[in-house]
Structure 1
């Protein structure tokens, strides 16, 4: 049994739900399994073969299904590569290399090499935003545009939420639902299905609990490509106001959008991100 799940039955339930979601992928897609130094990596490829590439990196406790509302729009203009991040509840290897090292960038080197991509735009969400930022600072020549949604590694990480997850873990479904609501900020009838999905995942999945390394000012100042940062002021995981301040100071050419109502789960950004990518 993989160490990233609490039980074999839980792992099977998450994978069964994931397969149902993949079957409902809204556009034609190819499923690719790439060998990398961290183990196999699963990628969903959509869009015209001759379109410019766009790499999609989801957040912790998630998989490629987070892009289902975006992919129909984005794949009309880009060859999209939705990557299951390693160590998360998708179909990639359970490996979790140290984030305080070059290992994540080396893994992405392998992914891009396996896909035959020399340079690409990247959209990253939360942990995926951290991975995208880390890669852009280490391999700036390979990243043409960088769109970050509630990214880690810039504003202060609010570790209190990790302890909320741990405290509520013994309370089963009810505790998982409360944890999911606190983490995402989703709490409306329209988003209840998303909240249920997150709750199911965290009933069976062991999330990362370490702090994401914070990028120094010097690393952020090295970003020369166009950058878009979008964050919610009610984010319970990262300090969005600090994220905005640091990006304004260190990456003055970046476009920074602070949204007053959303929490960590940012919905409805499809058109804004596409406009930036088409720049």
Structure 2
């Protein structure tokens, strides 16, 4: 049994649902498997092979289905590589590189090298945002433009805000769904399938318990690539006000967007991101 899941049956249910999502990928794609020291890494590649590369890193407790609503637009201008983070509920290895070391950056080195990417633009959400920012800090010059959606590592974590949501987790499927709605900030009938999927995920999956390191000011100040940061005012996981303030103060070239009445789930930013990552402003391989 894979230890990141609560049972073998739970693992199969999550992965079966993920395969169903992959079957709905809206543009032609290739499934690539890259060997790394952390184990095999699964990547969904889309878009013209001669287009500028764009690497996508999802958040914790998620997989590349995060990008289903964005990929048709982005793959028109970029060769997109949606990477399943290792240790998360996708098709990559279950290994979890320690976040307080250079292991995540070395894993990304091997993924990019395996894909034949020298430099690229990068989009990261939550833990994926932390991973992307950690990589930019440790590997200056390799990422040409950076998008951070509700990223960890800039504003401090706010566990006390999470307590009301976490209180309903033991109450079965209804409790998990209610917790997911509070954490993500998603409401309305149109997001019901998303809430159901995430609730199922966290009924089956064991999330990381490792504390997410916060980057010091001097590390953030080394980032010279243009950065787009998007946060929501109702994020209960991270202090979005502090994230916005530190990003504006620390990054020499930053576009910081604070979305009102928005929680930790940052959706609907497809066009904003595409404009920021326009080919005329992005280096190619």
TM range (shorter): over 0.9
Q: Aligned residue for 1:225?
A: 225
Deviation at residue 183 of structure 1 after TM alignment:
1.3
Alpha carbons of structure 1 residues 205 and 162: separation in structure 2 relative to 1, 3 Å: farther
Give the ranges of 4+ consecutive aligned residues of structure 1 lying more than 6 Å apart after TM superposition: none
Decide which moves more: 262-271 or 153-162: 153-162
Deviations 1:11-34 (A, max 9, x none): 110011001100000000000111
Deviation at residue 164 of structure 1 after TM alignment:
5.6
Structure 2, gaps ≥5 residues long? none
Decide which moves more: 51-60 or 178-187: 178-187
Q: Aligned residue for 1:96?
A: 96
Instruction: Provide the secondary structure at the position in 2 that maps to 1:170.
Output: coil
User: Following the alignment from structure 2 to structure 1, what is the Cα–Cα distance between the partners of residues 77 and 232?
Assistant: 27
Deviation at residue 190 of structure 1 after TM alignment:
1.4
Q: Is the contact between residue 122 and residue 147 of structure 2 (CA under 8 Å) also seen in structure 1? A: yes
User: Following the alignment from structure 2 to structure 1, what is the Cα–Cα distance between the partners of residues 51 and 198?
Assistant: 33
Alignment of 1:190-229 (within 5 A): 190-229=190-229
TM-score if structure 1 supplies the norm length? 0.97
1:87 maps to 2:87: yes
1:244 maps to 2:271: no
Count matched residues.
279
Alignment of 1:259-270 (within 5 A): 259-270=259-270
Q: Aligned residue for 2:147?
A: 147
Q: Is the contact between residue 162 and residue 209 of structure 1 (CA under 8 Å) also seen in structure 2? A: no
Structure 1, gaps ≥5 residues long? none
Q: Is the contact between residue 235 and residue 264 of structure 2 (CA under 8 Å) also seen in structure 1? A: yes
User: Following the alignment from structure 1 to structure 2, what is the Cα–Cα distance between the partners of residues 90 and 179?
Assistant: 22
1:72 maps to 2:57: no
Q: Aligned residue for 1:23?
A: 23
Q: Aligned residue for 2:126?
A: 126
TM-score if structure 2 supplies the norm length? 0.95
Deviations 1:54-82 (A, max 9, x none): 00000000000010010000000000000
Alpha carbons of structure 1 residues 36 and 161: separation in structure 2 relative to 1, 3 Å: farther
